[in-house]
Amino acid sequence: MPVPTYDQLMLPLLEFASDGNEHHVKEASEAIGNYLKLSGDELNELLPSGKKTKFYDRVHWAKTYLTKAELLHKTGRGYFQITSRGIDVLNSKPPFIDRHFLMKFAEFADFQTRSNDKKGSTETPTQETQQTPKELIHSTHQELRKELTEELLDYVLTASPIFFEQLVVDLLLSMGYGGSIEGSGQTTRATSDGGIDGFIQEDKLGLDTIYIQAKRWGTGNGVGRPSVQGFVGSLMGNGGTKGVFITTSHFSKEAIEYASNLQNIRLILIDGTQLAQLMIEHDIGVSVEATYVVKKVDRDYFDID
């Protein structure tokens, strides 16, 4: 039999989690593969990139969608557990679960439409067959990027505070701040510089310095105006006029308004989603898994009007 699609794996995965225990995706893959009586060749069939098996990757995506619908919830990196909603769904004995089925849950519907916000689309999964191949490539790329963004934040949140502060400095340097000046970016944990987690010298004499505050907080713990004000006070105490406040969480409306209305100080706020997207754009903590080149006819070569 061909390797089941990820939507064909959603119901078996939810049933596997029905014992209420915490499980890992690898454990689930092995159990479901045995339950479906897949052959060794089917279980070991690789994706075109050659780096993952097709079956494991599809179980992973089934977990992702069930998590977005809150039928499962993440308990750690790669770990999950069934929710009360997931149990209710199983008790209703659905013949199958696919993305169309999950659209009845507001959280999943929101997840599906968020990836289309930039292009103003209100496309639903049932309309996928109407997309052109190029449209499918674009929408799939957006979905992969969204999943990578969340996975990156999971890794950052499990890292140490010292690692996170160095990550922030590395990111700003990779974005071009500090130029080619050796040693232009540093963390300040070793010197316990109150309220300042790092800085970047934009010129060799240190006449222009960007000060950094980095807060590795959970997504439910937002950064409010008092924290931002505290950083501004530290920045001013160091004679600085430029600052970057980066968090894995989000900023409150009051914090954003306060930062935007500052006089004589330039303060940039970067939340968790922006942080992960910048990491992807500047290759911090990520690597290329596969590259697909889409080519077209060179009309100039053929001198076609």
pLDDT, residue 95, reads 95
- Return d(Cα 74, Cα 72) in angstroms, integer: 7
The tens digit of pLDDT for each residue in 268-304 reads: 999 999 999 999 999 999 998 878 888 888 878 887 6
- Return d(Cα 57, Cα 6) in angstroms, integer: 8
Residues 84, 191, single domain; the answer is no
Token output for 251: 């900023």
pLDDT, residue 206, reads 67
The tens digit of pLDDT for each residue in 83-124 reads: 999 999 999 999 999 989 999 999 998 887 765 554 444 344
Per the structure, the count of domains in the chain is: 2
pLDDT band at 213 (very low <50, low <70, confident <90, very high): very high
Residues 114, 52, single domain; the answer is yes
Residue with tokens 């069930």: 66
Assess if residue 188 is contained within a domain.
yes
Enclosing domain of residue 74: 7-130
Assess if residue 218 is contained within a domain.
yes
Q: Is 171 helix (H, G, I), strand (E, B) or coil?
A: helix
pLDDT, residue 136, reads 77
**CATH code, 171:** 3.40.1350.10
pLDDT, residue 51, reads 76
Token output for 52: 């993952």
Residues 29, 121, single domain; the answer is yes
User: Minimal CA–CA distance to 210: which of 182, 231, 227?
Assistant: 231
pLDDT, residue 194, reads 65
**CATH code, 17:** 1.10.10.10
Assess if residue 40 is contained within a domain.
yes
Residues 18, 115, single domain; the answer is yes
Residues 199, 114, single domain; the answer is no
Rg of the chain on CA atoms, in Å: 23
Phi, psi of 103 (to 5 degrees): -65, -15
CB atoms inside a 10 Å sphere around CB 85: 15
The tens digit of pLDDT for each residue in 38-84 reads: 999 999 998 877 778 999 999 999 999 999 999 999 988 889 999 99
In the chain, the amino acid numbered 58 is R
pLDDT, residue 210, reads 93
